[in-house]
Structure 1
Amino acid sequence: MSYPEQFQGFAINNPKDWATPKLTSYQPKNFGAHDVDIEVECCGICASELFALQNGWSHGEMACLSSKYGPKTQVVGHEVVGKVVAVGPEVKLCKVGDRVGLGAQASACMNCTRCNSNNEQYCAQAVSTYCDFYPDGYVSQGGYASHVRAHEHLCFPIPPELPSELVAPLQCGGLTVYSPIKRNIAGKKDPKVAVIGIGGLGHMAIMISKALGAEVYAFSRGYSKKDDAIKMGADHFVATGEKNWSENLGDTFDLILNCASSTTSLDLNALLPCLKVNCNFVSVGLPHIDEDLKVKPFSFFANGCNMGSSKLGSREEAIELMNLAVKHNFRPWVETIQVSEAGVSDGLTRLNDGDVKYRFTLTGFHQFFGTGK
């Protein structure tokens, strides 16, 4: 490998190989005026990687096979922490040597009304950190790699108080739940938040909701995660597998946040009446492309509630989130795995099997790739 001409990372080009990415060298995207190269120190493992590698969000072929230049293989990973080692001539937001984080978005136009209103995650020209097309036809490559290249605006400064392996999951998972929680309860007196699904996203949603002043209800099908949810800060626990679980929860919540990555077990007709008037059910867990949400229109009628989704978060919100973690001293629950072909495979396989409490972070990148010097 000769940086910056080549990066190294763990990649596949066929969904059947999702659990066994192989080390490969590849050409990065052409270096832009606002681009930043990050020498990766560690990278979280997110459930999105499973869907991307298994091609569960598409009925077509993997995007990398249609890349106009660069690799025809796919490196994933979008909870990156590392050091800035190169900047484009117009970069102003960071400098060589800075420790930064990169989440699930690598680029945006920075000129549209959404970008100019701290909603760049909704930019029509947004490029995801992996599996997405840049305007020049290159398919983005992620952070299970020696380096990653992204627009400066999406490279976030990290407070020194936050250890790299613990702050990595905040770059995507944490930000994904922080944005809708903040936007739905800001300015409300004594808000109540229900968090559905106590997994990678949900466990951070509990901590963040609590830090933002909410009374938090953790929802899970059974009781196996009750003790953990209480330790994370939940004030109440609701087992939706119990009969009549919603009986005393009508008109309770300012926000119901669905963090589950599958919708098949959601009883929306029981959940929606638990919202206060004109409040929101927001789903941030994206299921397989063939899954649907099922709900009766009358479930909306009595309280005028709304259903929607939320995509990632803005740079401003990412910085707010990390400062909140410092102020309130919360950290994701993380198990570290040494990066290697075997380590990546182990992390992906265990995540697919649900064998994680509650996030993985791949570490040891400098040792493996011979970087960090």
Structure 2
Amino acid sequence: MFSSQAGGASEEDKSIKFTGWAAVPGGNGILQKWSYHPRPLVADEIEIEITHCGICGSDIHFSTEGWGPITRPAIPGHEIVGVVVKRGEDAAHQIGDRVGVGCLVSCCRGSSVCDWCRKGEDQFCANKTVTFNAPYKDGRGGISEGGFADRMRVYSDYAFKIPEEISSAEAASFFCAGITTYTPLKRYKAGPNTRLGVIGIGGLGHIALQWAAAMGCREIVAISGRDNKKEEAFKLGATKFINTSDKEQIKEAVKSIDLCLCTNASRNNNWEEYLSMMAPLSQLVLLALPEEPITFVGSHLVSQDVAIVGSHLGSKGDIEEMLEFAAKHGIRPWIEKRPFEDCNEACKDVHAGKPRYRIVLEMDPSTSVSTSALS
């Protein structure tokens, strides 16, 4: 068996093992049951009994080695919801609190704080640790493990209390799909003067349409390669629908979008067509991560002052604000719940694009797989 701390030696808490479903080298995306000893709980950490974890496209890219080879078993999952069952003496949460954890689990700690953390933009911190398969940079060693598991330990400032109005199953998807789409709309001031486009009506796109409607965008354009989601797009808040397989619809949409979120990482994306729809001084924001380079003609950018930009998650403050906004405006992901034990079948369905629109794994309390008092 591979060491759970390979590549990042640390002290382990031998009194307990956490168990989850790990991606393995050469495993073709098939997750395997795997256990590890967590790091000892310190003063500003909490232990969470995980009840739900959403499945994100990046979990699939990672598990299938689309982003590169896997060198050790690693538990994915970064849309995590659970209940605090242990806390350090300085932790921000109490036992019994319902909390969520997203894509990051650590940044600058102690007295040495980088400029980005000082600015409240911790998602850009050079000392950050993503939620799974990443070395901690806090001086304690170890490698992070994600939420396809029964428990996790995390610094309490990276666990966020969930508003009472939002169920645990619904809350999970906000910690990646939600914040990934909320942040660029906030950053680029989407509102009554914005003609917004959303490319891809899936796990991210269906939440983006709801944010846009709540923000009062002047026009909300759902962009897809087929009509099969057209009716649902309007229910989610779209005011217009463009089927990119109909070239006449693309011609009619030339220079009509002020801000566009691309939530689709498909190899079939036609960047020339997307750029043709962008108005002068507009931004096309990449949210999905293609496995291959993208190409386009530079004249689309120069002639209209169009910018192609990326957007990376959101800060801790953004997450707190997003959860309050979702609770206030009744924004919820459309989800399908599956048992954790069915994670492989669920991941296959996500890979095939079947969900409408997000699959959330749900733990059966009677089948908890944590084992305490282990030698």
- How high is the TM-score relative to the length of structure 1? 0.89
What's the offset of the Cα at 1:137?
Answer: 4.3
Aligned pair 1:12/2:12, yes or no? no
Query: Whole-Å Cα distance in 2 between the matches of residues 76 and 365 of structure 1?
Result: 19
| Structure 1 pair 358–4 and aligned structure 2 pair: CA distance change class (3 A) | farther
> Which position in structure 2 is the counterpart of 1:355?
354
Q: Following superposition of structure 1 onto structure 2, how do residues 283-294 of structure 1 map, counting pairs within 5 Å?
A: 283-288=286-291, 291-294=292-295
Query: Whole-Å Cα distance in 2 between the matches of residues 3 and 367 of structure 1?
Result: 24
Q: Following superposition of structure 1 onto structure 2, how do residues 256-335 of structure 1 map, counting pairs within 5 Å?
A: 256-262=260-266, 264-288=267-291, 291-335=292-336
> Which position in structure 1 is the counterpart of 2:100?
101
Query: Whole-Å Cα distance in 2 between the matches of residues 4 and 222 of structure 1?
Result: 53
What code does the residue aligned with 1:225 have? K
Query: Whole-Å Cα distance in 1 between the matches of residues 171 and 15 of structure 2?
Result: 26
Query: Whole-Å Cα distance in 2 between the matches of residues 3 and 348 of structure 1?
Result: 31
- Of 115-124 and 264-273, deviating more is 264-273
Structure 2 alignment gaps of length 5 or more? 1-12, 371-375
What code does the residue aligned with 2:116 have? R
Please provide the CA RMSD for this pair. 1.9
Query: Whole-Å Cα distance in 1 between the matches of residues 319 and 143 of structure 2?
Result: 25
What code does the residue aligned with 2:179 have? L
Secondary structure at the residue paired with 2:142?
A: coil
Secondary structure at the residue paired with 2:355?
A: coil
| Structure 1 pair 15–165 and aligned structure 2 pair: CA distance change class (3 A) | farther
Secondary structure at the residue paired with 2:349?
A: helix
What's the offset of the Cα at 1:351?
Answer: 1.1
Query: Whole-Å Cα distance in 2 between the matches of residues 108 and 196 of structure 1?
Result: 32
Q: Do the aligned partners of 2:19 and 2:369 also contact (CA within 8 Å) in 1?
A: no
Please give the per-residue CA displacement for 1:107-144, whole angstroms capped at 9, x wherever unaligned. 11152111122211111111111121113542211111
What's the offset of the Cα at 1:229?
Answer: 0.7
> Which position in structure 2 is the counterpart of 1:208?
211
Secondary structure at the residue paired with 2:187?
A: helix
What's the offset of the Cα at 1:247?
Answer: 2.0
What's the offset of the Cα at 1:242?
Answer: 0.8
Secondary structure at the residue paired with 1:355?
A: coil
Q: Do the aligned partners of 2:150 and 2:363 also contact (CA within 8 Å) in 1?
A: no
> Which position in structure 2 is the counterpart of 1:70?
none
What code does the residue aligned with 1:156 have? F
What code does the residue aligned with 1:123 have? C
Query: Whole-Å Cα distance in 2 between the matches of residues 16 and 23 of structure 1?
Result: 12
Query: Whole-Å Cα distance in 2 between the matches of residues 30 and 297 of structure 1?
Result: 52
> Which position in structure 1 is the counterpart of 2:120?
118
What code does the residue aligned with 2:282 have? C
Secondary structure at the residue paired with 2:66?
A: coil
Identity of aligned residues (%): 31
Structure 1 alignment gaps of length 5 or more? 66-72
What's the offset of the Cα at 1:173?
Answer: 0.9
What's the offset of the Cα at 1:35?
Answer: 2.2
What's the offset of the Cα at 1:303?
Answer: 1.6
Please give the per-residue CA displacement for 1:84-122, whole angstroms capped at 9, x wherever unaligned. 12223432x322221110011111115211112221111
Q: Do the aligned partners of 2:24 and 2:32 also contact (CA within 8 Å) in 1?
A: no
Regions of 4+ moved over 6 Å: none
| Structure 1 pair 31–239 and aligned structure 2 pair: CA distance change class (3 A) | same
What's the offset of the Cα at 1:150?
Answer: 1.8
Query: Whole-Å Cα distance in 2 between the matches of residues 155 and 178 of structure 1?
Result: 18
What code does the residue aligned with 2:156 have? E
Query: Whole-Å Cα distance in 2 between the matches of residues 161 and 236 of structure 1?
Result: 30
> Which position in structure 2 is the counterpart of 1:75?
75
Aligned pair 1:345/2:347, yes or no? no
Query: Whole-Å Cα distance in 2 between the matches of residues 172 and 365 of structure 1?
Result: 23
Q: Do the aligned partners of 1:39 and 1:84 also contact (CA within 8 Å) in 2?
A: yes
1:62 aligned residue (70, 74, 95): 70
Please give the per-residue CA displacement for 1:166-222, whole angstroms capped at 9, x wherever unaligned. 111011111111101111125x54211100011111111111111111121000011
What code does the residue aligned with 1:367 have? S
Secondary structure at the residue paired with 1:185?
A: coil
